[in-house]
Amino acid sequence: MALYQGGYSNFAARRAARHGRTKEYKASLEQNKKSNSTTKQVENSSSTKPAATEPRDLKGHPKVMSYPSAKSLSENTGDSLLIKCFKYVVPDTGLNFEYEQRKATKTGFSPFSGEKIEKDQIATDAKGNKINFPVKNSASLRNLGSSDRYNELGEDGKRKHKPLFYVELPIPQDINDSNSVTWSDDNMNIFQLAGLAAVQSGLMNPQQGFETVKELFQSGIPDKVLEGDMKEQLIAIISGKAIDALGNNLSTNSVLGRSQGTILNSNLELLFNGVNLRTFPFSINFSPRNAGEATMVKFIIRAFKSSMAAKKRTEEAGQGGAFLGAPDIFSLEYRHGSATHPFLNSFKHCALTGMTVNYTQSGTYATYSDGTPVNMRMNLTFKELNPVYIEDYSDDVPGVGY
């Protein structure tokens, strides 16, 4: 008759009985036993060798999971968080070229195959295959991040990369997003700016840059450039550098401050320094009401744990081979009924960087008769694979955008 197990079993049983859950859970447990063969079929089918279209097999869980059991992907039951799991796709970076086939301009021996070729004959390699040559000035940069590649389409017009599994969860109670970029202080004095300008001019037009430096050495710096007391300050700087060359550690501003009572203008400015990746923490509470929900919660926790694990890429025991494969990644989407949420933020593809599960969320250890904890809390931390850019804000992105 004991429904719960653990140090607080009597107290937990009385509490469950007060809420009328004992009879309900037992009935659902019996129903779950009757459908056990179906569950086993799901587990067995998920552990068999995947089809050619599947990136990998599922580790002991079904492809579609939803909590609570009243919710499903086809039911309009309110707002939810839909999570899809994908196999990780590496970024695609490099150079693109247009290619052409070329003909021999005269009769002779091919430098590629070593055989004699006639004029206007198409160049081939030693195996007789035609050689494709890059077209001059046709190079273009290819820089697709991992998140961008999940939108690639195949020849049939459909997405190349299919989800491994789906999980639909109640929408979390603490929803927020945080966008940030990095700006940092930067300074550069007048002599550094002048040197930078000279180098840029030399690189853009080497002949003009050489003539400019030549003219400066021949005629010297004109007085109109060294206005006011700048000439004395320049002399002080040069004197300080000369002394510094003898082994003394003198800063330019120290020399100017002592001799002229001035310092170099640092032209301090705040400059853009980089982009940041966003992090999203979520907390989900599980309180299974029947045996079916208990099984589903177990599947969901197992699915996230297995997908965030690295891959040994070998069937051998131990720590695997020389290389490890990246874990799976996830796409997140807030849902309003059966459609994308019209207001809340969107996500780029994310990695699951952290996961914790508290199996005693109620403060005491209490389980049902089949060992399922009464109350659990799952904390997930996702981090986007690529930064957000202004070009991502297209008309297709709903609500507030990213």
Cα three-residue angle 225-226-229, rounded to 5 degrees: 155
Distance CA 184, CA 153 (A): 39
49 contacts 314 by C-beta, under 8 angstroms: no
Per-residue exposure over 249-261, b if at least 16 CB sit within 10 Å of its own CB, e if not: ebebeebbeeeee
User: In this structure, which long-range contacts are made by residues 255-259, counting pairs with CB atoms below 8 Å and at least 24 apart in sequence?
Assistant: 259/232
Q: Regarding beta strands 116-117 and 108-109, do their DSSP bridges make them parallel or antiparallel, or are they unpaired?
A: antiparallel
| pLDDT tens, per residue, the chain with 402 residues | 333 333 333 334 444 444 444 455 555 555 555 444 434 443 443 333 333 334 467 888 999 999 988 655 555 557 999 999 999 988 877 777 787 777 777 777 777 667 777 777 777 777 777 777 777 777 777 777 777 787 777 777 777 888 999 999 999 988 999 999 999 998 887 767 766 666 666 666 666 655 655 555 555 555 555 455 555 555 555 555 544 544 456 676 776 676 677 777 788 899 999 999 999 999 999 999 999 999 999 999 999 999 999 988 777 667 777 888 899 999 999 999 889 999 999 999 999 999 999 999 989 999 998 999 999 999 999 999 999 999 999 888 899 999
Would you state the structure tokens that stand for residue 84, as one six-digit string? 């899809």
Distance CA 80, CA 65 (A): 13
Per-residue exposure over 189-228, b if at least 16 CB sit within 10 Å of its own CB, e if not: beeeeeeeeeeeeeeeeeeebeeeeeeeeeeeeeeeeeee
0.85 exceeded by pTM: no
> What per-residue confidence (pLDDT) applies to 146?
77
Task: Count the Cβ atoms, other than its own, within 10 Å of residue 279.
Answer: 14
Residue 187 Cα distances to 33, 198, 241, 266, angstroms: 72, 18, 20, 5
> What per-residue confidence (pLDDT) applies to 20?
46
Please report the DSSP string for 301-353 in residue order: HHHHHHHTS-B--SSSSSS-SS--BPPPEEEEEEEETTEE-SSSPP---EEEE
Numbers of helices and strands, H then E, in the chain: 9, 16
> What per-residue confidence (pLDDT) applies to 263?
74
Distance CA 364, CA 194 (A): 71
So where are the chain's domains? 9-89+145-181+279-314+322-392, 185-273
> What per-residue confidence (pLDDT) applies to 95?
75
Tokens 């195949």 belong to: 154
> What per-residue confidence (pLDDT) applies to 230?
54
Distance CA 327, CA 308 (A): 5
CA atoms within 13 A on the CB side of 152: 15
Cα-Cα-Cα-Cα dihedral of 114, 120, 125, 129, to 10°?
-150
Residue 69 Cα distances to 242, 289, 356, 386, angstroms: 81, 9, 23, 34
Distance CA 153, CA 4 (A): 52
Local structure of residue 388 (DSSP, 8 states): -
126 contacts 114 by C-beta, under 8 angstroms: yes
199 φ/ψ angles, rounded to the nearest 5 degrees? -65, -45
Distance CA 156, CA 161 (A): 13
